[in-house]
Amino acid sequence: MKTLTYLFAFWFSMGCITTALAQQPSKILKVSYATNNVSDFMVQTLKAQVKDPEEYSRIMGKAAAYKLYYTLYKNLGTEESLYVLDSIAEVAGMRTVGYCTYTYRDSKKVIYGQETFMGKEVNFTGDIAAMEWDITDETTEINGFLCRKAELKSNPQLYVWFTLDIPVSAGPYLYSGLPGLVLESNSFFQSTTAVQVAYEKDQTAFELQLERIKKEMESTTYSALEKVLIKKENFRRMAEKGKS
């Protein structure tokens, strides 16, 4: 039986951030992100389980085309934010552990989200303020921006790189609550990189997306965010042991 890792898609993003900063105050921060499945954990697991260099290269090469594209909107007036899936570039014979469809954070820092995990739709909600970060002394440059590393206190394997050069507390998926924009994140099964950042005066795109998501939320039952995170942690442990 193939190892569990063979079910995962891998892609390394080499995109660069481009910025278009308005000269006058704007209400919407819009960030484009590209997500892949080349997290630290996934790479380490694959290397440990696939001993044949040619097979390893084949998997990595085939998975290089698998991409997920997202847009993050942050309303700087209301503090609402919406992270929404735009498209998926699938590859025949490749599958991912899962992917986020959307996350919406209201003005009270309560987050609502939907994702697919192991083929099942999962809806969750929780207080994003409960996610506490340790800001480390590690720094790096990401596409011209000086960034600092922050690790999740409850699980340091989940970390992000954020920049004070864009002093907006926002980021992909669940990752916000820091004094700057998250440009990269690393979770158990995915990593995400910002590829474009802009401030916009026109709120139309944000409002249309938000209206669509809120209509869907009206008929959705949400589970506690903590349960979703525990389920992912348990799955990670099984994958690490090579179980199927």
- For 217-240, write each residue's pLDDT tens digit: 999 999 998 888 888 878 877 777
Say if CB 83 and CB 102 are below 8 A apart.
yes
How many angstroms from the chain centroid is the CA of residue 71?
11
Q: What is the pTM of this model?
A: 0.84
Find the helix packing angle between 40-49 and 225-240, rounded to 10°.
Answer: 30
The b/e string for 56-65 (b: 16+ C-beta within 10 A; e otherwise) is eeebbeebee
Average pLDDT of the residues in 163-180? 95
Question: Is 137's pLDDT higher than 90?
Answer: yes
Say if CB 136 and CB 207 are below 8 A apart.
no
Dihedral angle, C-alpha 87, 92, 96, 101, nearest 10 °? 20
Kindly indicate the confidence band of residue 1, based on its pLDDT and cuts at 50, 70 and 90.
Answer: very low
- For 66-93, write each residue's pLDDT tens digit: 889 999 999 999 999 999 999 998 878 7
Largest Cα span, the chain: 59
Q: Which uninterrupted H or E stretch holds 237?
A: helix 225-240
